[in-house]
Structure 1
Amino acid sequence: MVEKKYFFYVLLCADSTLYGGFTTDLTRRLAEHNDGIGAKYTRNRRPVQMIYHEEYTEKSAALKAEYAFKHQTRKSKEVFLRQHGVVLNLE
């Protein structure tokens, strides 16, 4: 039996804002965001690029990671990303 995978991901939007999301298919979801049919938040902030993702075997764990990220301050999100090896070059 193939185990289903769930992902928490972070996008860097064209306006340098960060967006956290949840999906079962990273490639499809990134394309949806860049096609303007993803989240309402990213629709006017395109193009977006995926800068981080984590894989989970349980849906609830991925959703909890998304929720926790979305409820952090911008500064805390940047710290989280740095701790996970993501360097933001926003200049």
Structure 2
Amino acid sequence: MPESEGGWFLYLVRCSGGQLYTGITTDVDRRFEEHCSGKGAKFLRGKGPLQLVFSEKVGNHSDALKAEINIKKMHKSAKELLVQRGCIG
């Protein structure tokens, strides 16, 4: 996995049902562990096992928020292409 120190990251998590969750954080590993343990986003609770499928450094908090909004507006097929091109898992 990419180094999660310094800056902000955009990440995508795949649920067991195939849904993709988009989030931002300064520490991808910590945040993914929170999601897996049920302490992260309510959307992901009970939808495991979870798989971290994409992570990319996006700069500062403002850049990360803008990237997150743009990804959330995308159709699932476009998100899947993003995962295919930048897959980490």
Q: What is the TM-score with the length of structure 2 in the denominator? A: 0.83
CA distances 1:8-48 after superposition (whole Å, capped 9, x unpaired): 00111111111110011111100110011111111121121
Question: 2:54 is matched with which residue?
Answer: 52
Q: Which runs of 4+ in 1 moved over 6 A?
A: none
Q: Is 2:63 aligned against 1:70?
A: no
* Structural RMSD (CA): 2.1
Unaligned runs of 5+ in 2: none
Equivalent AA in structure 1 for residue 56 of structure 2: E
Distance 1:63 1:8 in 2: 9
Equivalent AA in structure 1 for residue 79 of structure 2: K
Q: Secondary structure at the match of 1:37?
A: coil
Aligned residues: 85
Unaligned runs of 5+ in 1: none
